[in-house]
């Protein structure tokens, strides 16, 4: 008696149908990947706020402190916060899990191997970051730990979604990619474009992060009542308290240039509020360790009539971090006199006066603006951008 031969249908790439594999692990993987995206996005926001001078809810002590981790040099990789890479990685995992579910309904075990590979990479990165947190930073971030545990759970779900084993699933996915080179190339382009877009939209960790809200107030730009006398009252005078290591301040510096062109009747006054405990008694820890030195450099350049040039140079120097003496030389300043000014008691007194005025006004973060006796943290009130009467532009640093 002859037995009928069973025909095994083949899909492109030599992948046989697979209707026996449960979809439950893939559903779990999708949910975990979306949780990872949410945690990574929250960490990216925390990272930006930490660099703006705000403390997070998980800055509990010196050991359990998300802010210490966010402010460390290990929190940025290839120009992006590690958290931003997490958003991209978990987003890719979510896409692969969703794709694997679609293939599972069609009886094809595709995308599971790639999902396993992404999850394994996330776990490897989590282990590396845990080692760095313990050995190099000496602090732990609770949200980071939650993200690492999510990566481990995602790897377990991805493993369970591969009935024949991860190696077989990866081989099947690679075969499918080779069978469709055009689609594979398009996928690679999309991934590279996502990374490039993230770097363009989030350069050096903070330029498009939301402006910090007013301390203990409402949305950004909500005024906070200041004490009896603001440093420079008047609705046509804007007093900006800034920090040369603050990424938000660098962005605000560019916006103020646009405001000067749009409102030539306004007077913009620069004051210094370094988020550096070396000269700022309002801080318990230094957020920007060199900010006091940079403020002194601006004060000394101002004394020689080159404040605007040094102001621009210091903000542009946030990435290069060239010594202030190098910047002074580029501006043609007398270096011996400049260096003597940096350690002058008069320079220190001027800086201390700026910080004291900011504290009296209720400034708690940078950039902050005092307009008409009110403090605006993070951004200026929108009405300042309205069309002004004809006038000559005025902009200066604070008077001595």
What is the rounded CA–CA span in Å between residue 166 and residue 179? 20
In the chain, DSSP assigns E strands to: 76-77, 80-81, 224-225, 237-242, 267-272, 368-371, 374-377, 394-397
What is the rounded CA–CA span in Å between residue 125 and residue 118? 11
What is the rounded CA–CA span in Å between residue 294 and residue 291? 5
Q: What is the pLDDT of residue 200?
A: 57
Question: Structural domain boundaries of the chain?
Answer: 24-205, 224-397
Q: And the tokens for 296?
A: 């002194």
Q: What is the pLDDT of residue 17?
A: 47
Reduced to 3 states (helix: H, G, I; strand: E, B; else coil), residue 313 is helix
Instruction: Return the CATH number of 224-397, one of 1.10.357.10, 3.30.2130.30, 3.40.30.10, 1.25.40.20.
Output: 3.40.30.10
- In 3D space, the residue among 108, 96, 77, 357 whose CA is nearest the CA of residue 233 turns out to be 357
Q: What is the pLDDT of residue 52?
A: 65
CATH-assigned architecture of domain 24-205: Up-down Bundle (1.20)
Q: What is the pLDDT of residue 19?
A: 45
What is the rounded CA–CA span in Å between residue 20 and residue 178? 25
What is the rounded CA–CA span in Å between residue 300 and residue 313? 14
Domain 24-205 and domain 224-397 have a common topology: no
Q: What's the distance, CA 128 to chain centroid?
A: 20
What stretch of H or E contains 340?
A: helix 335-342
Q: Note down pLDDT in tens along the chain; length 400 residues.
A: 444 444 444 444 444 444 445 588 989 999 999 999 999 999 988 888 777 666 678 777 667 888 878 877 788 887 788 888 899 899 989 998 988 888 888 777 778 888 899 999 999 999 999 999 888 888 888 999 999 999 999 999 999 988 888 898 888 878 887 877 777 677 777 777 766 666 555 544 333 333 333 333 333 333 333 333 333 334 678 899 999 988 778 888 888 888 888 888 888 898 999 988 899 998 877 778 889 999 999 999 999 999 999 999 999 998 788 999 999 999 999 999 999 999 999 999 999 999 999 999 888 888 888 988 888 877 777 777 775 554 444 444 544 4
Q: What is the pLDDT of residue 28?
A: 92
Mention every residue, 6+ apart, whose C-beta is less than 8 A from residue 182. Answer: none
What is the rounded CA–CA span in Å between residue 379 and residue 212? 8
DSSP string over 4-62: PPPP---BTTTBPP--SS-SHHHHHHHHHHHHHHHHHHHHHHHHHHHHTTPPPTTB-SS
């Amino acid at each position: 008696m002859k037995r009928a031969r069973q025909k095994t249908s083949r899909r492109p790439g030599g992948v046989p149908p697979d209707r026996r594999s449960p979809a439950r692990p893939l559903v779990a993987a999708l949910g975990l990947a979306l949780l990872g995206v949410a945690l990574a996005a929250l960490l990216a926001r925390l990272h930006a706020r930490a660099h703006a001078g705000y403390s997070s809810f998980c800055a509990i002590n010196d050991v359990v402190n998300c802010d210490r981790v966010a402010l460390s040099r290990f929190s940025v990789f290839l120009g992006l916060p590690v958290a931003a890479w997490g958003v991209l990685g978990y987003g890719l995992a979510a896409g692969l899990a969703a794709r694997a579910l679609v293939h599972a309904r069609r009886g094809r075990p595709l995308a599971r191997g790639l999902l396993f590979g992404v999850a394994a990479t996330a776990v490897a990165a989590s282990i590396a970051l845990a080692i760095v947190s313990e050995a190099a930073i000496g602090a732990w971030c609770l949200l980071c730990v939650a993200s690492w545990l999510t990566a481990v759970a995602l790897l377990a779900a991805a493993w369970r979604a591969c009935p024949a084993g991860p190696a077989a699933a990866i081989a099947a996915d690679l075969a499918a990619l080779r069978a469709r080179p055009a689609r594979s190339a398009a996928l690679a382009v999309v991934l590279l474009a996502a990374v490039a877009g993230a770097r363009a939209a989030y350069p050096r960790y903070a330029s498009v992060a939301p402006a910090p809200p007013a301390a203990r107030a409402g949305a950004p730009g909500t005024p906070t009542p200041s004490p009896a006398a603001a440093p420079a009252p008047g609705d046509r005078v804007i007093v900006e308290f800034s920090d040369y290591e603050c990424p938000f301040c660098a962005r605000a510096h560019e916006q103020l240039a646009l405001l000067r062109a749009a409102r030539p009747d306004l007077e913009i006054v620069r004051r210094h509020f370094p988020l550096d405990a070396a000269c700022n008694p309002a801080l318990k820890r230094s957020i920007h360790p060199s900010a006091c030195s940079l403020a002194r450099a601006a004060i000394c350049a101002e004394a020689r009539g080159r404040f605007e040039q040094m102001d621009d140079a210091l903000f542009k120097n946030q990435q290069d971090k060239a010594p202030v003496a190098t910047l002074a030389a580029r501006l043609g300043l007398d270096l011996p006199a400049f260096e003597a000014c940096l350690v002058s008691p008069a320079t220190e007194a001027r800086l201390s006066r700026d910080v004291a005025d900011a504290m009296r006004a209720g400034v708690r973060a940078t950039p902050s603006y005092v307009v008409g006796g009110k403090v605006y943290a993070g951004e200026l009130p929108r009405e300042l951008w309205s069309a002004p009467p004809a006038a000559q532009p005025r902009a200066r640093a604070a008077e001595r």
